């Protein structure tokens, strides 16, 4: 049996604002943007080169959902962005004004920094050691 996670739903306040951040500041690719209704779209994004898993941008539609935007994991790092060139991608984050929460450090598993997306979700940028 072969299984994998294909989508992770990420609560957002506004589709276009989220697309702009992830595509223009993080360099993600917009894979799909399909209108489902007047208030709902099916928006999939992924880092360039990603093969199996992508993010589904889900616009919060209730007060309960809006309260969770940026806090889907209770303040813990939520997503992990692996890279083949940490310093290239870190410099890109800095150049694009992305908020760095924890400066780069060398750990036993690789080089890592923590950054926040436009809603405050925490991400690890990681280049693992071979």
In this prediction, residue 4 carries a pLDDT of 86
The CATH classification of domain 70-130, taken from the options 3.40.250.10, 3.30.70.100, 3.10.180.10, 1.10.3720.10: 3.10.180.10
pLDDT digits (tens, 9 = 90+) for 3-18: 888 999 999 999 999 9
CATH 3.10.180.10-classified regions of the chain: 1-69, 70-130
Burial of 25 (0-12, 13-18, 19+ CB in 10 A): middle
In this prediction, residue 112 carries a pLDDT of 98
Average confidence score pLDDT of the chain: 95
State in words which class domain 1-69 has. alpha beta
pLDDT digits (tens, 9 = 90+) for 43-78: 999 998 887 899 999 999 999 999 999 999 999 999
Chain centre to alpha carbon of residue 37: 24
């Amino acid at each position: 049996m072969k299984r994998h996670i294909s989508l992770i739903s990420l609560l957002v306040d506004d589709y276009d604002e989220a697309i702009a951040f992830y595509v223009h500041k993080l360099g993600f690719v917009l894979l799909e943007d399909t209108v489902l209704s007047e208030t709902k779209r099916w928006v999939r994004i992924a880092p360039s080169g990603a093969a199996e898993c992508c993010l589904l941008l889900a616009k919060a539609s209730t007060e309960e959902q809006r309260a969770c935007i940026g806090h889907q994991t209770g303040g813990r790092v939520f997503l992990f962005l692996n890279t083949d060139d940490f310093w290239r991608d870190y410099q890109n984050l800095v150049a694009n004004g992305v908020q760095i929460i924890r400066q780069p450090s060398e750990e036993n598993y690789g080089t890592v920094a923590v950054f926040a997306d436009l809603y405050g979700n925490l991400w690890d940028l990681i280049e693992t050691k071979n």
